[in-house]
Structure 1
Amino acid sequence: MLNSSGNLDAPPALRATTPGWRDPRLWIGVALVAVSVVVGARVVGGADESVAMWSVSRELAPGDVLEPSDLEVTRVRFAQPADARAYFGVDDELPADRYLLRGIGVGEMVPRAVLGAPRSDIAHVSVSVPSAQVPPSVRSGSVVDVWLAPRPGAETARARLAVSEVTVVEAPRASSGFGAEGQRQLVLGVADEGVDLARVLTASGTDRLMLVGRG
Structure 2
Amino acid sequence: MGRRDATTRPARRVVVRRWRDPRLLTGVVLVLGATALGARVVVEADDTVEYWAVSDDVPAGDAVGRDDLVATQARLDGASGEAYVRVEEQLPDDLGGLRWTDDLGAGSLVAHDAWGSGAESRGHLPVSVQTGFLPADLGAGDLVDVWVGPGPGEPADLAAERFASGLRVLDAGQSETLGASVTRTIVLDLGSETLRGEQVAAIAAGHVTLVRVP
Is the alpha carbon distance of 1:47 and 1:118 closer, same or farther for their aligned partners in structure 2, counting shifts above 3 Å?
Answer: same
Are the counterparts in 1 of residues 52 and 70 from structure 2 also a CA contact under 8 Å? Answer: yes
Q: Does 1:146 align with 2:145?
A: yes
Counterpart residue number, 1:88 = 85
Per-residue Cα deviation, 1:15-58 (whole angstroms, up to 9, x for no partner): 5x453233221222122123212322332222122111223435
Per-residue Cα deviation, 1:141-165 (whole angstroms, up to 9, x for no partner): 34x24264999x98xx8x9865333
Q: Does 1:19 align with 2:17?
A: yes
How big is the alpha-carbon RMSD for the aligned residues of Structure 1 and Structure 2?
Answer: 4.3
Is the alpha carbon distance of 1:63 and 1:12 closer, same or farther for their aligned partners in structure 2, counting shifts above 3 Å?
Answer: same
Counterpart residue number, 1:189 = 189
Unaligned stretches of 5+ in structure 1?
A: none
In 2, the alpha carbon distance for the partners of 1:11 and 1:129 equals 110
In 2, the alpha carbon distance for the partners of 1:34 and 1:135 equals 64
Unaligned stretches of 5+ in structure 2?
A: 151-155
Is the alpha carbon distance of 1:6 and 1:100 closer, same or farther for their aligned partners in structure 2, counting shifts above 3 Å?
Answer: same
- Tell me the CA shift for residue 135 of structure 1: 8.9
Counterpart residue number, 1:110 = 110
In 2, the alpha carbon distance for the partners of 1:12 and 1:91 equals 74
Secondary structure (helix, strand or coil) at the match of 2:19 reads coil
Q: Does 1:125 align with 2:126?
A: yes
Counterpart residue number, 1:44 = 42
- Tell me the CA shift for residue 90 of structure 1: 1.7
Q: TM-score, normalised by structure 1?
A: 0.62
For residue 40 of structure 2, what is the amino acid of its counterpart? R
Number of aligned residues: 193
In 1, the alpha carbon distance for the partners of 2:134 and 2:144 equals 12
Are the counterparts in 2 of residues 86 and 111 from structure 1 also a CA contact under 8 Å? Answer: yes
Q: TM-score, normalised by structure 2?
A: 0.62
In 2, the alpha carbon distance for the partners of 1:73 and 1:83 equals 17
In 2, the alpha carbon distance for the partners of 1:26 and 1:89 equals 49
In 2, the alpha carbon distance for the partners of 1:77 and 1:126 equals 46
